[in-house]
Structure 1
Amino acid sequence: MTRDDLIAMLHEQTPACGPARNALIAGADFVVWDGLVPANRHAGVFRRRMHHSLKRGHTVEGAAESVDILKRAGEEPLRTGSIDAVDRSSWFTIFLNSTATAMVACCGGRRPITSADTPE
């Protein structure tokens, strides 16, 4: 899979797709894994991650929309991947169909700033 392939697949599936596409255009690192996992299993995992993030005061752009899309996809096997901005300020999780030819959903956004990130 090429960078241009991913850029072309990222439309408006969720609000995180535009920022993910922009990160790729700017040279972000990306990976798409070979393994296949049923979409509804991803939905459960990301629903829990979203609730955990919200409890900590962090938002994950496109998470709610991604969970809904993944639940509707049911047992459809999906590939997952990630996009990591050049400056590491943003990250995205991407969900593709089993042949990695279509984007199903995308979530992510700015990394939360932690105390380890702030200068003393």
Structure 2
Amino acid sequence: MEKDQIADLLRDGSEVTALVRAALLGGGVGILWDGATASESLAKVYRRRLGLTRRTGQETLGLERAVELLSGYGSPIRLGQVTSPGGHWVYILFLSEDAESLIACTGVRQPR
């Protein structure tokens, strides 16, 4: 999938998707992985990550909302990632299995 195709999925109007889109189109690196994972499994993993980032104070965007959306989705999820130019942020994209729609996304500021 090309950058512009990924960018077209990032138009839900939220702050995090706007930042991911800007990062991707501004020279960031994007990837979509093959295969899919059960949304329930991903919700569990990212719920733990939410707790960890809260305990450590690591800055995130949209993580709580992503966990909520994954918990209620009920279908397999395909994952993608966008790394911002300079690598300061890594964004995880949760897509429908056919990669035609965005379910949720989250960003995590990388330690320096």
Answer yes or no: same fold by TM over 0.5: yes
Specify the alignment match of 1:26 in structure 2: 26
Q: Please give the TM-score of this superposition, normalised by the length of structure 1.
A: 0.87
List 4+ stretches of structure 1 deviating above 3 A. Answer: none
How many residues are matched? 112
**AA partner of residue 96 (structure 1):** L
Q: Please give the TM-score of this superposition, normalised by the length of structure 2.
A: 0.93
1:112 to partner: Cα distance: 3.1
Q: Answer 1 or 2: which has greater helix percent.
A: 2
Are 1:42 and 2:24 counterparts?
no
In 1, the alpha carbon distance for the partners of 2:77 and 2:59 equals 24
Long gaps (5+) in structure 2: none
Asked if 2 retains the 8 angstrom alpha-carbon contact of 1:28 and 1:84, the reply is: yes
Deviates more, 1:17-26 or 1:6-15: 6-15
In 2, the alpha carbon distance for the partners of 1:4 and 1:10 equals 10
Q: Percent identity?
A: 28
1:105 to partner: Cα distance: 0.6
Specify the alignment match of 2:9 in structure 1: 9
Specify the alignment match of 2:101 in structure 1: 102
CA spacing shift, 1:15–1:51, aligned 2, 3 Å: farther
| 3-state SS of paired residue (1:72) | helix
- Answer with 1 or 2: which has the greater Rg: 1
**AA partner of residue 83 (structure 2):** D
